[in-house]
A and B are shown apart, each in its own frame.
Chain A
Amino acid sequence: MTRVSVKVDGTNYEDEVEPRLLLIHYLRDRLGLTGTPVGCDTSNCGACTVDLDGESVKSCSVLAVQADGGEVTTVQGLAGEDGEWTGLQRAFHERHALQCGYCTPGMIMAARDLLRDNPTPTSDEVRHALEGNLCRCTGYQNIVRAVLAASGQEVGT
């Protein structure tokens, strides 16, 4: 067992974990933060994407011990203290960028990373930035629209 100290969505946690424990299972099974789901076992789908120290990572490809001393933000930590949604959350809702919603936490976290690096991406840039996040419901068109809208750009309907 190894001791880890991680700040997740603003709360500090200290735990003993198996060295092999994946960050996603630490979040879900140990901390009960089930807002971030698991969609595959080959790091293809991106459903488990979270923010680790300012970078978006697939939390199925990170060990909990690698997050030691770090700060994790999940989809559950995005809304403001008053519960106010971020621009991306609002845009996903308004643009119908989700159906079953299973990929949505990962999509939002990956799009958030994109907009941090590139505040006004083109639609092609959005598509390429989200290449590692799979959605089976939407055909991506409304996801692209939502990300563009969240970036403050005009988007047709």
Chain B
Amino acid sequence: MSDTVEREVGRARPRKEDARLVTGQTNWTDNIAVNGLLHLAILRSPMAHARIDHVNVTPALERPGVVAAFSGADLAEGLGSLPCAWPVTEDIVLPDHPPIATTEVRYAGDPVAVVVARDRYAAADALEAIEVDYTPLPPVLDLEAALAEDTVLVHSDKGTNRCYDWPLKTGEDFESVRQRADVTLKRRYHQQRLIPNAMEPRGVVVTPLAASGEYTLHSSTQIPHILRIMLAVVTGIPEHKLRVIAPDVGGGFGSKLQVYGEEAIALAVARRTGRPVKWTESRSEGYLATHHGRGMIQDIEIAANRDGTLLGLKVDLLVDMGAYLMLVTPGIPILGAFMYPGIYKMGSYELNVTGVFTTRTPTDAYRGAGRPEATYAIERIMDELAAELGLDPVELRRRNWIGHEEFPYTTIAGLTYDSGNYEAATEKALALFDYDKLRAEQADRNHRGDSVRLGLGVSTYTEMCGLAPSRVLRDLRYAAGGWEAATIRMLPTGKVEVVTGTSPHGQGHVTCWSQIAADVLGVPFEDVEVVHGDTQAAPQGMDTYGSRSLVVGGTAVHHAAVKVVEKARKIAAHLLEASEQDLEFTDGVFSVKGSPDARKTIQEVAFETFTSHDLPDGLVPTINAEHLVDPDNFSYPHGTHLCAVEVDTETGQTRIRSYVCVDDVGRVVNPLIVEGQVHGGLAQGIAQALYEEAVYDDQGNLVSGTMADYLVPSAPDLPEFTTDRTETPATSNPLGVKGVGEAGTIASTPAVVNAIVDALRPLGVRDVRMPCTPERVWQAVREASR
């Protein structure tokens, strides 16, 4: 019988989630309607930096449909500072961050006043009646100038724009390495600011129950559990009186891993008015109000011998915090700090991170969060080093990467990579890409002096994800743990509910957790449902970010299911009048060894447990089980990405001709979903290389302030991808799985830029600043020819 049951883990199951999504039966936050609902609109600062002299909301109250209006000062009582949960150093500068500004605005978009009205049009209209007097202050925009003496301060009470310095130094002293190295190269790379652009704009709905002081908050959030704790602290609403629900959430990419001012404001206004309140951002409003990603200057120096052997790496980062520290703002570059050495062996590593305040929208997690930046810098400079040494970029990597026989391997940065096979992934990718043939074509075009050049870009990445071992988080001064919880409820009719602490917003947890549970329990995939995203229904969890859900949360589901089977075994043994040792459990059926007719399915055991008519003496009548997993290590997916780009040297136009990636994300639960994650990751990484940038003018206004000005790529802007896998199981969890959510984004950006620079290297080009727009490419060619 066991031969006939197909295992669920590894099957390309189309998703359970889709039925509602393809028919429009959705429950986005903005869909929520309750009686008496008021719509909240927010007046935001039109200036990057100004003192607030006076706010008068009274004229707004005269407008039709307006129920209430509040200035920052009106709401200040009972609203604490928005939290930063990752103060990365002991002496970090932690400015006060009021959800709504009271005395000073520090970025264009800082909230200043709010209106609630009967419908969204009336609320938006009334904003224009609010009177605000500002005294403009100079903006702070340049990261280096911001650190100078006697400069304008973003937070004048703090005396500095320097938020923190975070150093890391391991192995041999870099200075001594530099002196004995045959070659050293130093480069400066710019990680432009990006706007995450989850397709669902953010929204929040608060429903108060005034009589009992209870509040239900729906939010388009990735983190309902963390949000509940933090909002309880910010608003003073007791944690047990606050229920947070993440309904259908339309993408996040880190932008909804946040405790936002609007969530606190909506609670405060609902508390003040006693009425349910809804706020939904417009896309352009979100460009100002939803945190940005990236935003750093990277100085990187690499030292090597003539044969290509790496000796050491030195990295200095200047990171744009924006105006305030949000939930994990200072920690983002720290997530990258351990990844600059990538997959390579070396004996010396020095890094310093400096966080800088500016008068821009705060930065925080965006897909990859610190690791794309690190991978970009090391993979870009590896290509530069290869060119310097006259080596093929793949060969240089081969000479330095960790061999598959060397795992587990502790890197110079102190991480222990549990498993991997860089050789296998690279060989497979090279073959799919037809690397040698493309190199021959490139040489031919160069020889002919073709105006359209071909460039090949390599990126052999790994990353740390699956956040995270709680003790490591403690050592990094992160305020919370990194465990995840799962409960399995065996219902009387044999159906199964998996309660998870992860909070999906497109990843497919319902499908994958069903597959994991179905395999362990031996029940049909269709008999499993997954409950998530509600602090009342799924009370324990650390939510979804950092490619953690499968490796931590999925592992918890697995363990909880194993516990259910063990509990059920006791009852089955009793019912079958056999000893537990004599029971076999295969495909959901307990049977007695040697007497195959004596059998009970686990679903029958669930019913017998429900009636409890015939259980062993003293047994607690449940086979439900709960498990929490605190991971021992991070997860280290890896892979090899190869990109071929045609560059028109006369127009600067680039075209990705082929993109091949072979990723190793360990054992795969659902190949369909893994491929989808990789595709989407590639799109976002390629978008950073070619298209996207949050552009500010010299007054601190966001110039790329609408979707018409910020190029989110559409279908014709992206190529067909060739994706494949190697599978080297993780040794850090029983499923053998690794994170996949961020890998594509982390790997692809340097592959694309390496390809563009590779195409133009014969013309003397050594770098093109991202995004590599036609104008920038054309400029780079022009400057190199001078």
Q: Which residues of A contact B (CB under 8 A)?
A: 18, 20-21, 25, 28-29, 32-42, 44-45, 47, 74-76, 78-79, 85, 89, 92-94, 96, 98-105, 108, 123-124, 126-128, 130-144
Of B28, B283, B284, B684, the contact of A102 (CB 8 Å cutoff):
B28
Of B282, B506, B675, the contact of A100 (CB 8 Å cutoff):
B506
* Chain A residue at minimal CB-CB distance from B21: A101
> When A39-B200, A130-B714 are in contact, do A99 and B23 touch as well, CB less than 8 Å?
no
User: Do B253 and A136 touch (CB < 8 A)?
Assistant: yes
Q: Which residues of B contact A (CB under 8 A)?
A: 14-15, 17-26, 28, 30-31, 33, 119-121, 197-201, 248-251, 253, 282-284, 505-508, 672-673, 675-677, 679-684, 706-708, 712, 714-716, 718, 720-721
Bound-complex Cα distance A20 to B706 (A): 21
Report the minimal beta-carbon distance from B391 to chain A, rounded to whole angstroms.
Answer: 32
Query: Could you show 8 A-B contacts with beta carbons less than 8 Å apart?
Result: A25-B121, A37-B30, A38-B201, A40-B282, A44-B712, A93-B14, A100-B249, A141-B720
Of B26, B676, B714, the contact of A99 (CB 8 Å cutoff):
B676
Chain B residues lying within 8 Å of A133, measured Cβ to Cβ, are 714-715
Report the minimal beta-carbon distance from A25 to chain B, rounded to whole angstroms.
Answer: 7
Given contact pairs A35-B25, A96-B15, A102-B200, a sample of 18 additional A-B residue pairs in the complex whose CB atoms are under 8 Å apart? A39-B199, A40-B201, A41-B282, A42-B284, A44-B707, A85-B22, A96-B14, A98-B18, A99-B251, A101-B20, A102-B28, A102-B251, A103-B199, A132-B714, A138-B676, A139-B682, A139-B721, A142-B679
Of A20, A47, A103, A140, the contact of B718 (CB 8 Å cutoff):
A140
* Chain A residue at minimal CB-CB distance from B367: A136
User: Do A100 and B715 touch (CB < 8 A)?
Assistant: no
User: Do A79 and B718 touch (CB < 8 A)?
Assistant: no
Bound-complex Cα distance A28 to B28 (A): 12
> When A41-B283, A85-B22, A98-B22 are in contact, do A134 and B506 touch as well, CB less than 8 Å?
no
User: Do A102 and B23 touch (CB < 8 A)?
Assistant: no
User: Do A136 and B251 touch (CB < 8 A)?
Assistant: yes
Bound-complex Cα distance A104 to B200 (A): 11
Bound-complex Cα distance A78 to B120 (A): 29
* Chain B residue at minimal CB-CB distance from A32: B33
Bound-complex Cα distance A3 to B30 (A): 26
User: Do B680 and A39 touch (CB < 8 A)?
Assistant: no
User: Do A131 and B22 touch (CB < 8 A)?
Assistant: no
* Chain B residue at minimal CB-CB distance from A94: B14
Bound-complex Cα distance A123 to B721 (A): 13
Bound-complex Cα distance A80 to B15 (A): 21
Chain B residues lying within 8 Å of A108, measured Cβ to Cβ, are 22
> When A35-B26, A134-B712, A142-B676 are in contact, do A100 and B198 touch as well, CB less than 8 Å?
yes
Bound-complex Cα distance A74 to B505 (A): 23
Chain A residues lying within 8 Å of B17, measured Cβ to Cβ, are 101
User: Do B23 and A79 touch (CB < 8 A)?
Assistant: yes
A-B contact count (CB 8 A): 182
Of B23, B283, B675, the contact of A96 (CB 8 Å cutoff):
B675
User: Do B22 and A136 touch (CB < 8 A)?
Assistant: no
Report the minimal beta-carbon distance from B605 to chain A, rounded to whole angstroms.
Answer: 34
Bound-complex Cα distance A36 to B31 (A): 10
Bound-complex Cα distance A57 to B439 (A): 46
* Chain B residue at minimal CB-CB distance from A45: B707
Of B20, B33, B680, the contact of A136 (CB 8 Å cutoff):
B680
Bound-complex Cα distance A38 to B201 (A): 8
Bound-complex Cα distance A89 to B22 (A): 6
Chain B residues lying within 8 Å of A18, measured Cβ to Cβ, are 121
Bound-complex Cα distance A103 to B26 (A): 12
Of A40, A74, A130, the contact of B283 (CB 8 Å cutoff):
A40
Chain B residues lying within 8 Å of A33, measured Cβ to Cβ, are 24
User: Do A42 and B708 touch (CB < 8 A)?
Assistant: yes
Pairs A-B, 4 closest by C-beta atoms = A35-B24, A101-B21, A100-B506, A102-B250
User: Do A89 and B23 touch (CB < 8 A)?
Assistant: yes
Chain B residues lying within 8 Å of A101, measured Cβ to Cβ, are 17-18, 20-22, 26, 248, 250, 506
Bound-complex Cα distance A134 to B25 (A): 20
Chain A residues lying within 8 Å of B30, measured Cβ to Cβ, are 28, 34, 37-38
User: Do A93 and B199 touch (CB < 8 A)?
Assistant: no
Chain B residues lying within 8 Å of A98, measured Cβ to Cβ, are 18, 21-22
Bound-complex Cα distance A22 to B23 (A): 22
User: Do A100 and B199 touch (CB < 8 A)?
Assistant: yes
Report the minimal beta-carbon distance from B169 to chain A, rounded to whole angstroms.
Answer: 39
> When A45-B283, A92-B22, A136-B197 are in contact, do A37 and B14 touch as well, CB less than 8 Å?
no
Bound-complex Cα distance A106 to B676 (A): 19
Bound-complex Cα distance A79 to B20 (A): 12
Chain A residues lying within 8 Å of B21, measured Cβ to Cβ, are 98, 101, 104
Chain B residues lying within 8 Å of A134, measured Cβ to Cβ, are 199, 707, 712, 714
Chain B residues lying within 8 Å of A40, measured Cβ to Cβ, are 201, 282-284, 706-707
Chain B residues lying within 8 Å of A105, measured Cβ to Cβ, are 24
Chain A residues lying within 8 Å of B23, measured Cβ to Cβ, are 35, 75-76, 78-79, 85, 89
Report the minimal beta-carbon distance from A36 to chain B, rounded to whole angstroms.
Answer: 7
User: Do B24 and A137 touch (CB < 8 A)?
Assistant: no
Chain B residues lying within 8 Å of A38, measured Cβ to Cβ, are 30, 201
Bound-complex Cα distance A92 to B675 (A): 15
> When A45-B283, A75-B23, A76-B24 are in contact, do A99 and B680 touch as well, CB less than 8 Å?
yes
User: Do B121 and A20 touch (CB < 8 A)?
Assistant: yes
Report the minimal beta-carbon distance from B26 to chain A, rounded to whole angstroms.
Answer: 6
* Chain A residue at minimal CB-CB distance from B23: A79
Report the minimal beta-carbon distance from A122 to chain B, rounded to whole angstroms.
Answer: 12
> When A25-B120, A29-B120 are in contact, do A92 and B18 touch as well, CB less than 8 Å?
yes
User: Do A42 and B721 touch (CB < 8 A)?
Assistant: no
> When A44-B707, A130-B714 are in contact, do A34 and B26 touch as well, CB less than 8 Å?
yes
Report the minimal beta-carbon distance from B241 to chain A, rounded to whole angstroms.
Answer: 29
* Chain B residue at minimal CB-CB distance from A30: B119
Chain A residues lying within 8 Å of B508, measured Cβ to Cβ, are 99
Chain A residues lying within 8 Å of B507, measured Cβ to Cβ, are 99
Chain B residues lying within 8 Å of A75, measured Cβ to Cβ, are 22-24
Report the minimal beta-carbon distance from A66 to chain B, rounded to whole angstroms.
Answer: 17
User: Do A39 and B283 touch (CB < 8 A)?
Assistant: yes
Of B24, B119, B250, the contact of A29 (CB 8 Å cutoff):
B119
Bound-complex Cα distance A33 to B31 (A): 9
Report the minimal beta-carbon distance from A6 to chain B, rounded to whole angstroms.
Answer: 17
Of A74, A79, A124, A137, the contact of B199 (CB 8 Å cutoff):
A137
Chain A residues lying within 8 Å of B33, measured Cβ to Cβ, are 32
> When A100-B251, A102-B200 are in contact, do A139 and B679 touch as well, CB less than 8 Å?
yes
> When A93-B15, A126-B715, A143-B715 are in contact, do A135 and B121 touch as well, CB less than 8 Å?
no
User: Do B683 and A140 touch (CB < 8 A)?
Assistant: yes
Report the minimal beta-carbon distance from B524 to chain A, rounded to whole angstroms.
Answer: 19
Report the minimal beta-carbon distance from B649 to chain A, rounded to whole angstroms.
Answer: 25
Bound-complex Cα distance A143 to B716 (A): 12
User: Do B199 and A47 touch (CB < 8 A)?
Assistant: yes
Report the minimal beta-carbon distance from B161 to chain A, rounded to whole angstroms.
Answer: 33
Of B121, B679, B707, the contact of A42 (CB 8 Å cutoff):
B707
Report the minimal beta-carbon distance from B246 to chain A, rounded to whole angstroms.
Answer: 12
